[in-house]
């Protein structure tokens, strides 16, 4: 059965952090659905217009991974969406992967309790929003169980490859990494 991913898009999201996982996961043969908060036309933090596949309200299943890009005010807009919060909590509760980068580990996942007792990373300085039970790790990408976190734009490709590895295995992730010239 084909793995399915949802990338949550919100007004003010960071472009590279949204598009990179969509691109890399599709290269790996994973079905990716972009879900827009407040509609399907999303204006990113730098004014690029995205056309989401669906409105987040139309999602009626729990995917294998929920991906939460950062950027401001994108992360805040995701954290204010009841449907996004429900989708993230539901995926986590069912043992599915929850993946977030940049500001989103602090702004979205921390208030939901997703990072409780876990190791995680985020955009530099945002770890100050982590609760004391979250172990901040100063690495580009951190996986702890079914949670994957990353620092930001510069780590988006490694973040996406880690999601591919978690869903489809290291061999598939390495094949994609070679195809996009991340590794020889």
Q: What is the token pair recorded at 173?
A: 């992730």
Is the residue at 42 inside a domain?
Answer: yes
CATH number at residue 114: 3.40.50.880
Q: Which of 10, 18, 84, 102 is catalytic?
A: 102
Is the residue at 84 inside a domain?
Answer: yes
> Does the pTM exceed 0.85?
yes
How does residue 154 score in pLDDT terms, banded at 50, 70 and 90? Answer: very high
**Domain of 169, in residue numbers:** 4-178
Is the residue at 184 inside a domain?
Answer: no
What integer pLDDT is reported at residue 33 of this predicted model? Answer: 98
Q: What is the token pair recorded at 85?
A: 């919060």
Per-residue pLDDT of 165-182, as tens digits, reads 999 999 999 999 999 999
Is the residue at 66 inside a domain?
Answer: yes
* pLDDT at 1 exceeding the cut of 90: no
* pLDDT at 89 exceeding the cut of 80: yes
Is the residue at 38 inside a domain?
Answer: yes
Active site residue 13: no
How does residue 184 score in pLDDT terms, banded at 50, 70 and 90? Answer: confident
- Residue in the block written with tokens 């949802």: 6
Is the residue at 143 inside a domain?
Answer: yes
Question: Domain count of the chain?
Answer: 1
Is the residue at 63 inside a domain?
Answer: yes
Is the residue at 90 inside a domain?
Answer: yes
Residue 49 backbone phi and psi in degrees, to 5:
-95, 125
d(CA 42, CA 110): 24
d(CA 25, CA 1): 15
How does residue 58 score in pLDDT terms, banded at 50, 70 and 90? Answer: very high
């Amino acid at each position: 059965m084909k793995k399915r991913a949802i990338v949550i898009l919100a007004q003010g999201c960071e472009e590279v952090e949204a598009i990179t996982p969509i691109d890399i996961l599709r290269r790996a043969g994973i079905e990716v659905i972009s879900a827009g908060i407040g509609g399907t036309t999303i204006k990113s933090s730098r004014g690029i217009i995205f056309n989401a596949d669906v409105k987040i309200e139309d999602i009626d299943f729990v995917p294998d991974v929920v991906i939460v890009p950062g950027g401001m005010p994108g992360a805040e807009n995701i954290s204010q969406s009841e449907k996004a919060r429900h989708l993230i909590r539901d995926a986590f509760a069912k043992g599915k992967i929850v993946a977030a980068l940049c500001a989103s580990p602090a702004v979205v996942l921390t208030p939901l309790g997703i990072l409780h007792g876990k190791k995680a990373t985020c955009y530099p300085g945002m770890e100050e929003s982590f609760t004391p039970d979250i172990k901040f790790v100063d690495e580009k990408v951190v996986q702890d169980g079914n949670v994957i976190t990353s620092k930001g734009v510069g780590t988006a490709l490694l973040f996406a490859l880690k999601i591919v590895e978690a869903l489809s295995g290291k061999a598939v992730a390495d094949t994609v990494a070679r195809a996009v010239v991340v590794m020889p």
